[in-house]
Amino acid sequence: MTIRENESLSRHTTFRVGGLARFFVEVTTEEDLKEAVTFAERRALPVFVLGGGSNVLVSDDGFSGVVIHMATRGIETNEVSANVAEVMASSGEEWDAVVAWTVERGLHGLENLSLIPGTVGAAVAGNIGAYGAELKDTLLWAESLDQRTGLVRRFSRGECEFGYRRSFFKTSEGRNFVITRAAFALNQRGPLNTQYKDVRDRLAAQNITAPTLAQVREAVIAIRRCKLPDLSRIGTAGSFFKNPLIPHAEYEALAARYPGLPGHDEGNSLVKVPLGWVLDKVCGLKGIRRGRVGTHSEQALVIVNEGGTAAEVEAFATELARTVKEKTGMDIEWEVEKVGG
């Protein structure tokens, strides 16, 4: 295990911003992880666990503690029944590589989550979702190291306390745990999830009426590439804000003011409102720029950074939230996690 001092975190985040980490440790084994946690504990330093760096905004002031970069690898599978396989993946595995691995083996369940950047551990913690699917739909369990005791605990799906873009691991108690491995129950015969309109439209445009597993993955990848910036060229964390969940009565009032406002019934008298539509159609904020920071030309929910600082990104995000509040009365919440500062 190598410990580096004063490592620039801009090299490790997709936003391409961030100051120095006092200490930076890349761990490839569970023993490395335990050693890194002990190193931080002995120096009474805070710990931040970094995956692919795709859903964080690191302060220009950096992080005055120990950044643990999860680089553990490994994917394996066990047959649970004639139709179900258990796929286990280490937390440092690239998420989309795991999805590709399952699709190549004809295992259904993760394909709608194709091309989402980041690692398995971060995917579990954030309960990633897209195109009618969420990670919680297939998760069996997640193993995590308790930083306080050094013991590994297995959390069932219920114990993970999944919600919209959240889990137990995002809570103050849950942050004591570092996800090390996760398992998913995947079906060997389907069914395929093609209910999301964008997916249906993409397949229809290709005259595909009975799609294969690979074709659904390809459709999702094509949709994402059309809507989202290329991470190899532009700094971004993808969707910056969560889609707001509002009471049904509040949604009806907004829909009366803004005809065509989409909304998805989430139960419990709540409606999920697509914030990208609001930012674009209500606020006119798609494709705008404030210096070196702006919203993506194809998706207003995505903030892009072309050479700006973390402070510039945060100021721009604050402006977007203020405009949404003024126009709609909705308070919107970051999906991106702020680190340091």
Question: What CATH topology corresponds to 3-70?
Answer: 3.30.43
- Residue in this structure with the two tokens 């290329």, named with its chain if needed: 230
Tell me what pLDDT residue 341 has.
78
- Contact criterion met (CB below 8 Å) for 193 and 132: yes
Q: Please confirm, yes or no, whether 172 is among the known catalytic residues.
A: no
Choosing from 93, 111, 314, 335, the catalytic residue is 335
Q: What percent of the chain has pLDDT over 90?
A: 94
pLDDT confidence band for 81 (50 / 70 / 90): confident
Q: Please confirm, yes or no, whether 266 is among the known catalytic residues.
A: no
Indicate the domain borders of the chain: 3-70, 75-187, 235-339
Q: Please confirm, yes or no, whether 239 is among the known catalytic residues.
A: yes
CA 140 to chain centre: 19
Q: Per-residue pLDDT for 1 more than 90?
A: no
User: Do 3-70 and 75-187 fold alike per CATH?
Assistant: no
Tell me what pLDDT residue 153 has.
98
CA distance 119 to 130: 16
Choosing from 16, 165, 181, 202, the catalytic residue is 165
Q: What is the pLDDT of residues 97-151, one digit of tens each?
A: 999 999 999 999 999 999 999 999 999 999 999 999 999 999 999 999 999 999 9
Tokens of 83: 């139709």
CA distance 23 to 3: 6
Tell me what pLDDT residue 163 has.
94
Tell me what pLDDT residue 127 has.
97
Q: How many CA atoms lie within 13 A of 194 on its CB side?
A: 20
Q: Which CATH number does the domain 75-187 belong to among 3.40.50.1980, 3.30.420.240, 3.20.20.70, 3.30.465.10? A: 3.30.465.10
CA distance 284 to 128: 27
Choosing from 54, 90, 114, 239, the catalytic residue is 239
Helical (H) or strand (E) element with 256: helix 248-257
Question: What CATH topology corresponds to 235-339?
Answer: 3.90.78
- DSSP-derived 3-state class of residue 315: helix
Give the predicted TM-score (pTM) of the model: 0.93
Tell me what pLDDT residue 330 has.
97
Q: What is the pLDDT of residues 291-341, one digit of tens each?
A: 999 999 999 999 999 999 999 999 999 999 999 999 999 999 999 999 997
- DSSP-derived 3-state class of residue 104: helix
Q: What is the pLDDT of residues 253-298, one digit of tens each?
A: 999 999 999 999 998 899 999 999 999 999 999 999 999 999 999 9
Calculate the average pLDDT of the chain. 96
Cα of first residue to Cα of last residue in the chain, in angstroms, is 27
Tell me what pLDDT residue 232 has.
86
Q: Per-residue pLDDT for 186 more than 90?
A: yes
Residue type present at position 208 = I
